[in-house]
Amino acid sequence: MALAEITARLREAEKAAGRPEGAVTLIAVSKVQPVDRVKAVLAEGHRVFGENYVQEAAGKWPVWKAAFPGVELHMIGPLQTNKAKLAVELFDAIHTVDRLSLAEKLARLAEVQGVCPQLFIQVNTGEEEQKAGILPADLDAFVGQCRGLSLPVQGLMCIPPEAEDPAPHFATLRDMAARNGLSGLSMGMSSDFEAAVAAGATHVRVGSAIFGARSYA
């Protein structure tokens, strides 16, 4: 099975990087995948999943959460402020905190609900116009603002530019996390998760390598 193969490669990458076994959490990215494929991975015992769309996740995960105890859900897609409430109720972690208005909204929700998902700040390491994320030059101040709001910021997240070697972006993210005293690093996807582990990733987000190609048709 693909899950077993990816898990084995992840354990190898941890070993090669001199990191303890299990140091890296494998987030199985199940967005737009057919129900059967996701259920098969649940049946194999995997419990950590990532989704990009609040509405889609809200449509399928409550039932699976009830059926498979221990499911941990990570929001890894852009989060609209008007979907934040639903996201806070559904997700255990949000990897895409990318603006002050969203941070403020999450802080208000956390106050009302008494709990808050673990948060990652998305950094636009490639400074790409079309990509979400805090610009590197603004990051330290933004971390300070989130801390001022008492938000549980666990770490940083990035999606390197498609056509570039991801390794320098992973290294930059690691350095930015270290200088801000953050331990979490959400980086690495199907094509580059081993490089991310070598650079210190704590969470890799792997979709198609586990489930097969996505069809958006």
Provide, rounded to whole angstroms, the least separation between the CB of residue 206 and ligand PLP. Answer: 5
Q: Which amino acid would we find at residue 26?
A: L
CB 105 within 8 A of CB 83: no
Q: Which stretch binds ligand PLP (CB under 6 A): 4-12, 107-115, 143-151, 200-208?
A: 200-208
206 lines the binding site for ligand PLP (CB under 6 A): yes
Task: Indicate which single residue of 75, 87, 134, 159 sits in contact with ligand PLP (rule: CB under 6 A).
Answer: 159
List, in order, residues 6 or more apart from 108 with CB less than 8 Å away: none
Task: Indicate which single residue of 29, 121, 156, 185 sits in contact with ligand PLP (rule: CB under 6 A).
Answer: 29
13 closest CA partner among 208, 205, 172, 199? 199
- Residue count at the site for ligand PLP (CB under 6 A)? 13
Element (H, E) at 153: strand 153-157
CA distance linking residue 44 with residue 29, whole number of Å: 15
Provide, rounded to whole angstroms, the least separation between the CB of residue 94 and ligand PLP. Answer: 12
207 lines the binding site for ligand PLP (CB under 6 A): yes
CA 208 to chain CA mean position, Å = 15
52 closest CA partner among 19, 107, 11, 90? 90
List, in order, residues 6 or more apart from 178 with CB less than 8 Å away: none
Provide, rounded to whole angstroms, the least separation between the CB of residue 145 and ligand PLP. Answer: 23
Q: Which stretch binds ligand PLP (CB under 6 A): 35-43, 134-142, 144-152, 205-213?
A: 205-213
Provide, rounded to whole angstroms, the least separation between the CB of residue 35 and ligand PLP. Answer: 17
52 lines the binding site for ligand PLP (CB under 6 A): yes
76 lines the binding site for ligand PLP (CB under 6 A): yes
Question: Contact residues for ligand PLP (CB under 6 A)?
Answer: 29, 31, 52, 76-77, 159, 189-190, 205-209
